[in-house]
Amino acid sequence: MSNKELQINEEIRDKEVRVIGSDGAQLGILSLRAALDLAAEKDLDLVKIAPQATPPVCRIMDYGKYRFEQAKKEKEAKKNQKVIDVKEVRLSLNIDTHDFETKVGHAKRFLTGGDRVKVSIRFRGREMAHANLGGDIMQKFADACAEWGTVEKMPKLEGRSMIMFLSAKTAK
């Protein structure tokens, strides 16, 4: 439940509410006025945490502190997430062996970093007539990278480009 959905203090419009104290103890079903007075007495807020219940459940807590804790948890969860980028390696139809090995090295670095690799060959001019050679180069590239990654999407001709995706192998 997001913070925007929670009703606090005067926003609550129910006649009776089940109240939970700041220490987590059940205080029973009270009228809204009595619950608000109890919260004000302790210098805390009355927060509706379960609006669908009958009667709705409200808790006495420091709402500002609660929101701060929630924001802190969300920030921590976001920090622990790994964002997977898609890196691109471009090959040509008449690539030389050393250039090919260099591109394999780049792909290895990307895959060990946990990223996906998009391998593409752009066909220029009359090279379109030899799309099968592009497929052979893609297969050779996939075999060269087999130690660090697996083919996620097989080579596919899209217009004047042939595209293949590799993804990092998951650690066992």
Q: Do both 153 and 101 map to the same domain?
A: yes
- What is residue 172's predicted lDDT score, i.e. its pLDDT? 45
| Residue 66 domain boundaries | 3-77
Looking at residue 136, its pLDDT comes to 92
Averaged over successive runs of 10 residues, the pLDDT of the chain (172 residues) comes to 70 88 88 90 89 89 90 88 85 92 94 91 89 91 92 91 90 50
Residue 100 · residue 143 · CB < 8 Å: no
Do residues 38 and 55 both lie within one domain? yes
Q: Please check whether residues 72 and 132 belong to one and the same domain.
A: no
Q: Residue 162's pLDDT is what?
A: 93
Question: Is 95 found in the same domain as 72?
Answer: no
Number of structural domains the chain divides into: 2
In whole angstroms, how far apart are CA 106 and each of 101, 103, 161? 9, 5, 20
Distance CA 33, CA 172 (A): 59
Using H for helix, E for strand and C for coil, what is the string for the chain?
CCHHHCEEHHHCCCCEEEEECCCCCEEEEEEHHHHHHHHHHCCCEEEEEECCCCCCEEEEECHHHHHHHHHHHHHHHHHCCCCCCEEEEEECCCCCHHHHHHHHHHHHHHHHCCCEEEEEEECCHHHHHHHHHHHHHHHHHHHHCCCCEEEEEEEEEECCEEEEEEEECCCC
Question: Is there a single domain that holds both residue 105 and residue 36?
Answer: no
CATH label of the domain that carries residue 15: 3.10.20.80
